[in-house]
Amino acid sequence: MTSLSIKSVFFLTLAVGFTPSFAGAAAGPALEGDLGPPVGPPIHAILTAPPNVPPPIHRKHPAKVIVELEVRELEKEISEGVRYTFWTFGGTTPGSFIRVRQGDTVEFHLKNHPDNKMPHNIDLHGVVGPGGGAASSFTAPGHESQFTFKALHQGIYVYHCATSPVGMHIANGMYGLMLVEPPEGLKPVDHEYYVMQGDFYTVGKYREKGLQAFDMQKAIDEKPTYVLFNGSESSLIGDNALTAKVGEKVRLFIGNGGPNLVSSFHMIGEIFDKVWFEGGTRYQENVQTTLIPSGGAAIAEFHTVVPGSFVIVDHSIFRAFNKGALGIFKVTGEENKLVYSGKEVDSVYLGDKAESLAAVGQAATATAEGRLSLEEQVKAGEALFTGTCSVCHQPNGQGIEGAFPPLAGSDLLAATPKRAIPIALNGLTGPVTVNGKTFNSVMPPMSQLNDDEIANILTYVTHSWGNKGIEPYTAAEIKAIRDSTARPAGAAN
Ligand SMILES: [Cu+2]
């Protein structure tokens, strides 16, 4: 045994039932997945921030690959106007994407930035060894750890921090993906993207503005405030949407960091040609929704046929529309009326995300700095009105005859503008007359919107379509009505 290197002993102990041939310890592969010793000079791995994926590896031999990953604790935007202190691998949530080849010897360096407050480590699900590396990588702020592993198994693997309290480190965004390419590589495609879901727990409610603290009790109760792709509500919408052209092949590396929820990953209006479920070697074909366990991953491939905005969701659908688990895949190119006749109507599924929510963020910043202008409030309100109130009252506020009263030029609204607050919060039932026409229908409470949002929406409504502007609504007056009136049973608070 003394003639064997320490590393060989390490691997031998893992190979249960393996009878080593001692005739030439250095000769040839010993273990399944061990494709021989590294060839050539060490290679520094290219790491990418989501949604980007490092370029394919075209190497024909195993190599020594050096991965340098730095942990940063950073305050970033989790939703428009909402800040959160993320703990990150490489400055982003999810962390940097790592790509190696089966058989590679990976020299892993974990650095904990000196400005950080917490110790961290890393558990790579693609590593065979105690803690997946966690046992060798505990790193205090300002320090660096190093360990080496051989990537024996191909596949797509989650990595995450495993420092106590583990759930808190993961909930703060400490997870990412490592791809171990098969020796022959993956089939070429036109685009590869990196999407990873996570659930987040803040003391404030969904979209409550300002810097939000982590809520341990909500995390223990598994009641997330946010469920997100790539760590922010806006990471895959607007200018950040994923893109392709008609007729292209796309590969998604999809992970789920959890810490708690399982993802029902779905792309509205697309069908996955192939899904390597659970990140394994088999694939399923013609898949609508694939389940990504917490701490698991999958590879999905599809090809684009018609243009449009395809909405990426966790099909546990309240998470998509009320907790942020929504992204856009934007396909441009020629229509194909044989495949799909229609014109694109974004707002059917996109809700308020059909509009850029940048104005909402600007208004939130302005509010925090005590300089919110009427114009900013109106712009934010317009973005929020779209896809919420506009569904019934229509984008131009004209309503629909016999069903939804108009908000544009409404004599009722003009006469009693403040009554719009309890209507928006608590809904309205029974006969109501607007511009001489009687409506007798039901408006559901919209109390899932927060005080800022309702104030901005009502300010927009009363300053648009020729409505005579009154004083802008304030979040404080919305809150006062929220606190002093009763909502119907079952309404959100
Ligand atoms: Cu950590």
How far, in Å, are 109, 406, 409, 488 from residue 403 at the CA level? 63, 10, 17, 21
For residue 318, give the 3-state DSSP assignment. helix
DSSP labels for 94-149? Answer: S--BEEEETTPEEEEEEEE-TT--S-B--EETT--SGGGGGGG--B-TT-EEEEEE
CA distance 299 to 186: 11
220 Cα: distance to centroid of ligand 1 (angstroms)? 18
- Cα of 86 vs centre of ligand 1, distance in Å, is 10
Task: Quote the ligand 1 centre to 99 CA distance (angstroms).
Answer: 21
Neighbours of 454 (CB within 10 A): 25
pLDDT at 351: 65
- Residue 349 has a pLDDT of 67
Expressed in angstroms and rounded, the spacing between residue 492 Cα and the centre of ligand 1 is 34
Task: State the pLDDT confidence band at 12, using cuts at 50, 70 and 90.
Answer: very low
Q: Is-contact 201 224, C-beta < 8 A?
A: yes
> From ligand 1's centre to the CA of 85, what distance in Å?
12
Helix (H) or strand (E) holding 430: strand 428-434
Residues 47-70, mean pLDDT to the nearest whole number: 97
Task: Judge whether residue 48 has pLDDT over 80.
Answer: yes
Q: How many CA atoms lie within 13 A of 40 on its CB side?
A: 10
Question: Could you tell me the distance, in angstroms and rounded to a whole number, from the CA of residue 267 to the centre of ligand 1?
Answer: 31
Cα–Cα distance, 187 to 303 (Å, whole number): 13
- Which pLDDT does position 10 carry in this prediction? 37
Is 337 exposed, middle or buried (CB count within 10 Å of its CB: 0-12, 13-18, 19+)?
Answer: exposed
Structure confidence at residue 354 (pLDDT): 60
pLDDT at 493: 74
Quick: pLDDT tens for 382-416.
Answer: 999 987 898 889 999 999 998 899 999 999 999 99
Q: What is the pLDDT of residue 25?
A: 42
Whole-number Cα distances in Å, 58 to 99, 188, 192, 294, 391? 12, 11, 16, 31, 50
Three-state DSSP class for residue 457? helix
Ligand 1 centroid to Cα of residue 173, in Å, is: 9
User: From the CA of 112, how far away is ligand 1's center (Å)?
Assistant: 9
CA R_g for the chain: 27
| Torsion, CA 463, CA 426, CA 316, CA 172, rounded to 10 | 70
Distance CA 383, CA 360 (A): 7
Measure 330 CA to ligand 1 centroid, in angstroms.
34
Cα 160 to averaged position of ligand 1 atoms, centre (Å)? 8
Average pLDDT of the segment spanning 27-35: 73
pLDDT tens for 320-333 read 999 999 999 999 99
pLDDT in tens, 278-302: 999 999 999 999 999 999 999 999 9
What is the whole-number distance in angstroms between the Cα of residue 367 and the centre of ligand 1? 33
* Å from CA of 73 to ligand 1 middle: 9
Ligand 1 (single-atom ion) residues, CB below 5 Å: 120, 161, 163, 169, 174
- Taking a C-beta distance cutoff of 8 angstroms, is the pair 251, 245 a contact? no
Tokens of 360: 């909402």
Across the range 266-273, mean pLDDT stands at 96
CA of 97 to the centre of ligand 1 (A): 17
What confidence score (pLDDT) does residue 32 get?
Answer: 86
| CA dihedral for 467, 444, 324, 165, sign (positive or negative) | positive
- For 165-200, the pLDDT digits (tens) are 999 999 999 999 999 999 999 999 999 999 999 999
Contact assessment for residue 50 and residue 56, using Cβ atoms and an 8 Å cutoff: no
Whether 332 contacts 350, CB under 8 Å: no
Residue 344: predicted pLDDT: 52
